Amino acid sequence: MINRDGQLGRALSALRRDPLALTGSLVLVVLVVVGVGGAWLAPSGINEVDVDRMLQPPSWAHPFGTDELGRDVLSRVMVAARVSLQVGLVSVGIALTVGVTLGLFAGYYRGWLDNVVMRCMDVLFAFPVLLLAVAIVAVLGPGLLTAMVAIGVVYTPIFARVTRAGVLSVREQVFVRAAVSVGASDLRIMRRHVLPNIAAPLIVQTSLSLAFAILSEAALSFLGLGVQPPDPAWGRMLFDGRGFVTEAWWLGVFPGAAIFLTVLAFNLVGDALRDVLDPRQLTVNEARRSTS
């Protein structure tokens, strides 16, 4: 759906030219490597409790220091990357699937369906993000899975809106009318003509939402509503480290930095993609190529 005529290729080459976006993508690559291989790459086990080396500051043996139970902070930050990635991908995956489907049908068929779907989305959208997530977790009980579902629900309206806006403009294009005129079914037109032509804003929205989803998970875990101890999560580590800010700054700073870097990286890449894949930019380029 994304790469049928080199949109991804164009995106990659543009990323290479933009140093900020390149930095962002490198951070993401590191994150993925650590996320996938964290358990093997980590210098020590995440739950190796050692009372002899409690709250040690960063050193060669423990670059990020140790926590109040003597566990290696670096290892815990690395393993927690997997949680963040998982939450990001699953929750944004939920939001993307549900939001795009709703937005697609609402925008394509308009009428009462559009009204019902979009008013529901408006209601969801009106709640503060975290409050809504907390409410959902309160109903379903805390845990990683609930956190992912909650975050997915929270971000669904954005995808529905972005999709609907794209569908509304694409469905007025002559080529959609041409597809109707050859007898193509509605589903075929949506899949074959509408979706590929709104891929650009969706890709951008996905990268931005990944950043916010990771942030939301951190916040939920910080509030004790996400990942449960002893499993590591960046937000949870931040929460646990708050009691030691004065004597052990490294407990909060390193997971905080990990959150900061990840969110920043997704935002940088998202902004760059927005510039490259902007539909107006796209038409200008194509028009230029076709007239020259």
Which residues lie near other proteins (CB under 8 A)?
4-5, 173-175, 177-185, 188, 192-193, 196-197, 286-292
For the bound state, the minimum distance from the C-beta of residue 22 to other proteins, rounded and expressed in Å, comes to: 21
Q: Which residues contact 97 (CB under 8 A, 6 or more apart)?
A: none
For the bound state, the minimum distance from the C-beta of residue 27 to other proteins, rounded and expressed in Å, comes to: 30
Nearer to other proteins, 31 or 273 (CB): 273
Task: Give the separation between CA 263 and CA 4, rounded to whole angstroms.
Answer: 29
- CB atoms inside a 10 Å sphere around CB 242: 11
For the bound state, the minimum distance from the C-beta of residue 100 to other proteins, rounded and expressed in Å, comes to: 17
For the bound state, the minimum distance from the C-beta of residue 202 to other proteins, rounded and expressed in Å, comes to: 14
For the bound state, the minimum distance from the C-beta of residue 7 to other proteins, rounded and expressed in Å, comes to: 8
Closest by Cα among 208, 122, 190, 197 to 166: 197
Nearer to other proteins, 51 or 182 (CB): 182
For the bound state, the minimum distance from the C-beta of residue 256 to other proteins, rounded and expressed in Å, comes to: 42
For the bound state, the minimum distance from the C-beta of residue 204 to other proteins, rounded and expressed in Å, comes to: 17
Nearer to other proteins, 257 or 287 (CB): 287
Nearer to other proteins, 52 or 172 (CB): 172
Nearer to other proteins, 198 or 227 (CB): 198
Task: Give the separation between CA 260 and CA 163, rounded to whole angstroms.
Answer: 28
> What angle (nearest 5°) sits at the alpha carbon of residue 33, between those of residues 31 and 36?
100
